[in-house]
Amino acid sequence: MRLSRDELKNLMKTKMMRAGLSEEHAEQTAEILTWSHERGYASHGAVRVEYYSERIAKGGITTNPNFTWKETGPCSGIFDGDNGVGYVVAVEGMKKAIEMAKKNGVAVVGMSNMSHSGSIGYYAEMAAKQDLAAITFCQSDPMAVPYGGTEPYYGTNPISFAVPTADERVVVFDMATTVQAWGKILDKRSAGASIPADWAVDDKGLPVTDPHKVNALVPIAGAKGYGLMMMVDIFSGVLLGVPFGKHVSSMYHDLSEGRRLGQMHIVIDPERFIGLDAFKKSMSQVCDELGAMPAAEGYGKVYYPGERALMRRDKAYASGGIEVVDEIVDYLRSDAIHFNRYDHKNRFAD
C-alpha cells in the first residue's frame, strides 16, 4: 500500500510514543526511518518500528536518557547516549562533530552506549549538507564470520561517507560490510528459494545455498571486507570502551537491557585542505565525469553513490507515495504496541 510521507512518518512516530518514547525522540526517529524507507531501504524503514516499540516498552531503550558529552581534546569527544534511542544519539553526536569541525577543522566524535541507529548515511549527509566531508560507521550484532572462520564474530558493521558538491548533489555512500543483509536471507526463506553461494555459510564455515542452513553471513570481498568490518569495530567499539566483536549485544536478546553499541563520526572541514569552493567544484566535476562515461551493456548509466536512492524516492512520490507492506501498515494503524515477537536468543530466527 502507498502512503504519503506525512502519513507514514506520523504513524511510526505515534506508535513509538505509545510504546513510551518522548515526542521529540519519536519525531527524530520517525524522520530518519522515513528518510530511509523513501529511498528504497525498506529494510531500515517501517519494518523496524515493531522491534523498537517492543524494546522501548520493555525498557531496553532509555526513554528519558541522560546524555553526557565529554570533550577530550580540541578535535575529539565522546557522546554517551545512556542507551537512548540510537537515532537521536547519532544525530546529537553529529551535531557536536559539525560544531567542532567548523571551529577546529576536524572532529572525531565517538558515541557510546546507544541503541540501533538505522541507515547511517543520514548522519554523514547531515554534515555534507553543512559543507563538510564526513565518514561514519557503527557496530551491529555479530552475524558474520571472519574470513575463513566458522562462527559469527562481527556484525554487518556499516560504513558511510558523504560530501557536498558545488550544485544540489550530495554524494552519500552507505553500505553494510556483509555481502547481504540478514533480511535478504529471510526473504528467500519465505519465498522457498535458494540463496547464491557467496552470501552465507553453514556451521562448518562452508558456503550454503539453503537459506535455512545459514549459520553466519560473510564479509564483502573476502578477507578485504573482513578487514573493513574489523576497522569499524575497532573505531566504534574497542576505542570507545563498549563491548566489541562477538561481545556486542544481540538485537534479539533480552529487550529489557540497553544495547551499549558504539558509533564513530569523523568530520573534516574542506576549508582546511584544498578549500571549500575548490573541493565542491572538484566533486561536481567527479560526478559529471562519472555520469558522462559510457555505461557497460546492461547498466544504463554510471551513478554516483546516493543518486539511485534519490531516484527511488522521486519515483515513489510520483507513483502516489511510499510503498509499505500491508501487514506493516495494519500494525502501525492498530492499537497494538507490539506482539512480543522479538525477544529471543536466536539471531537467525524468522
Residue 306 makes contact with ligand NAI by CB under 6 A: yes
Residues 93-122 that bind ligand NAI (CB under 6 A): 116-121
x/- letters, 122..151, toward ligand NAI (CB under 6 A): ----------------x-x-----------
Residue 173 makes contact with ligand NAI by CB under 6 A: yes
Beta-carbon contacts of 54 under 8 Å, excluding residues fewer than 6 positions away, are 19, 255, 337, 338, 340, 341, 342, 343
* 75 versus 122: smaller Cβ distance to ligand NAI: 122
Q: Considering the candidates 37, 44, 116, 265, report the single residue annotated as catalytic.
A: 116
Least distance from ligand NAI to the Cβ atom of residue 36, Å: 6
Residue 67 makes contact with ligand NAI by CB under 6 A: no
Pairing outcome for strands 261-268 and 133-138: antiparallel
Residue 337 makes contact with ligand NAI by CB under 6 A: no
* 138 versus 208: smaller Cβ distance to ligand NAI: 138
Give strand ranges (E) for the chain.
2-3, 68-73, 76-84, 106-114, 133-138, 159-164, 170-175, 200-201, 216-217, 261-268, 322-323
Residue 8 identity (one-letter amino acid) = L
- CA 49 to CA 117: how far, in whole Å? 12
* 325 versus 336: smaller Cβ distance to ligand NAI: 325
Pairing outcome for strands 200-201 and 216-217: antiparallel
Region for 191 from its dihedrals, namely left if φ exceeds 0, alpha if ψ lies in -120 to 50, beta otherwise: alpha
Residue 146 identity (one-letter amino acid) = P
**Among residues 8, 11, 41, 50, the one that binds ligand NAI under rule CB under 6 A:** 41
Which segment (27-35, 146-154, 168-176, 191-199) binds ligand NAI by CB under 6 A? Answer: 168-176
Beta-carbon contacts of 331 under 8 Å, excluding residues fewer than 6 positions away, are 15, 49, 50
**Closest residue by Cα to residue 186 from 151, 167, 214:** 214
Least distance from ligand NAI to the Cβ atom of residue 118, Å: 5
Residue 310 makes contact with ligand NAI by CB under 6 A: no
Widest distance between CA atoms in the chain: 55
| Residue 25 known to be catalytic | no
Least distance from ligand NAI to the Cβ atom of residue 161, Å: 9
Number of residues that bind ligand NAI (CB under 6 A): 23
Which residues contact ligand NAI by CB under 6 A? 41, 44, 116-121, 138, 140, 156, 158, 160, 173-176, 181, 303, 305-306, 308-309
Q: Annotated catalytic sites, by residue?
A: 116
